[in-house]
Amino acid sequence: MSVNEEMQSTIADMVDGRRGILAADESNGTIAKRFDSVGVESTEEHRRFYRSLLLSTEGLGEYISGVILFEETLGQADDSGTSLLQLAAKQGIVPGIKVDKGKGPLPGAPGDMITYGLDGLAERLDGYKEQGARFAKWREVYPITPENPTRLGLTANAEMLARYAAVCQSRGVVPIVEPEVLIDGNHSIQRSAEVNEQVWHAVFHALHQHGVMLELMILKPSMVTPGKECAKAPAEQVAEYTMRSLRRAVPAAVPSINFLSGGQGPEEATINLNALNQLWHAPWQLSFSYGRALQESALKAWQGVAENGPAAQQALLKRAELNHLAMLGEYQEGLERE
């Protein structure tokens, strides 16, 4: 099978109009903060047990088509010795891997950031692929201030995303391209729309320059929302601004747009996704790739207690089902309490 055929198979398994992606790729630092919130120490054993709990949730594959994993998880197994990748694959959930190495300041562009990890990426991808990963994810972040993102910030981050995506496709690995426009700040929804549109234009210009096949990638963008210091916008307004900017900047060749939750609460992220799918027919699948917005209720139910495992799994399954309904534009707020 050629690398293009491998990627086409992965896209076919992940983009089916009814399922989304579970982001379980928190770095050790990030998951330590999540665990702290429920009084659990972030040891390797606790992380292994928690992630095996998520991936062994019966019926999860009905609503989740892919899972983004952290590098540590690739080598882990559940209590019976089944690898966590196999746990996912048995439910028809495609395993993938976060490949960036974190971010730092972008020299020459005060306030902007840049992500590390391109060195040795091709060799790392070969190893991840041997372990069973079929797609990868890379995140660039864009703060919104009166000065940011700068022109350099836009072009440098787009270049990193494009170079990463091109390397992935050369190895037969589907790239998830994640340009996250941060929700931090007091900017208006109009300013958010302006920045998101600039970011997406820059990203697709760079992807084109690097010969990335748009049909064999997935976009993981932010929704267009006001800054978190402002009042929340109605879901219909979020959907209208998001869709307008997407239609201006994202080619129809992209098969799926899997939104990140980006600081939205679980219910808010579901309501906004539902509004997007109710607005009008889009040329792409409009789906989700949520981390905390899928896991928050499960983590609270678990609290590090093995006996709470079934309750945690039910909480995860419920959120996954609600976001599946939002993909169909059939979510109703009363379903939260059922």
Q: Which two tokens stand for residue 131?
A: 């372990």
CB-based contact 54:319 (threshold 8 Å): no
How much is the CA Rg of the chain, to the nearest whole Å? 19
| Active-site pick, 178, 197, 240, 296 | 178
Give the C-alpha separation, 211 to 309, whole Å: 45
* CA distance to 40, 142, 247, per residue, from 139 (Å): 27, 10, 22
129 is catalytic: no
Give the C-alpha separation, 299 to 38, whole Å: 7
| Active-site pick, 98, 220, 296, 318 | 220
220 is catalytic: yes
Give the C-alpha separation, 179 to 219, whole Å: 8
Q: Where is 289: in which H helix or E strand?
A: strand 285-290
DSSP annotation of 334: G
Give the C-alpha separation, 299 to 24, whole Å: 12
Give the C-alpha separation, 175 to 233, whole Å: 31
CB-based contact 65:21 (threshold 8 Å): yes
The amino acid at 239: A
> Which active-site residues does the annotation give?
178, 220
